[in-house]
Amino acid sequence: QLQLQESGPGLVKPSETLSLTCSVSGDSISSYWGWIRQPPGKGLEWIASVYYTGRAYYDPSLESRVTTSVDTSKNQFSLRLSSVTAADTAVYYCVRLAYSYDSRGYTYYGMDVWGQGTTVTVSS
Amino acid sequence: EVVITQSPATLSVSPGETATLSCRTSPTFSSNLAWYQQKPGQAPRLLIYGASTRATGVPARFSGSGSGTEFTLTISSLQSEDFAVYYCQQYNNWPLFTFGPGTKVDIK
């Protein structure tokens, strides 16, 4: 059974770079993956989607600060968010994007597996 | 710019009753909409994709409907475990996504 586990520092200083890794177990990393965050007491925010080849798509409001990467040898994918401020304080989730692809194109089946989430606080 | 609204913000329902949650998107989308449930302290859980298809293991009391710009999540015969926050998500430009602000279903 596929499981996702986020890891990374729980405290990041303002203006520094937030770095998180999601470890994939129980299945191949050959899929689409995503990063979602949730500020305290607020709703869900999509940050990025990344294919196992490394191709990535970012939320336009964060695009200038976000980079993602995939390490297929370790079955991991990562998120880096630079120049963080208090507004980046949130629970960060990694997710699998369930999909299929055939001659008609992509069919999406939702974010079907979520990590437990990791809390990142931006503070000096 | 994608705009999603969910109404009401909070819905108070008695156990056993039916809850009807609304999600309105702009501009027009087809059936590229999913619903998620989130309980306090937990990660969200996928309920519905394609506007009306239940995800694996989701009870039949959860049903989704709608197309275009207006979508509905109906929870029939509410159980105690259904009191949670529900988010809709549009994916017309997959794999780019937008979430709605959420509807909290609480006990009346």
- At A84-99, the pLDDT tens digits run 999 999 999 999 999 9
Q: What percent of chain A has pLDDT over 70?
A: 100
Q: SS3 of A14, please?
A: coil
Which chain A residues are Cβ-neighbours of B52 within 8 angstroms? none
β-pair partners for B54: B48
In which band, very low, low, confident or very high, does the pLDDT at A9 lie, cut at 50, 70 and 90? very high
Residue B28 has pLDDT above 80, yes or no: no
Please give the Cα distance from A58 to A47 (Å, whole number): 6
Tell me which residue in A45, A110, A117 faces B34 most closely, judged by beta carbons: A110
| Contact assignment for A108 to B98 by CB distance below 8 Å | no
A41 contacts: CB under 8 Å, gap ≥ 6? none
| Amino acid in the structure at residue B85 | V
- At B66-77, the pLDDT tens digits run 988 999 999 999
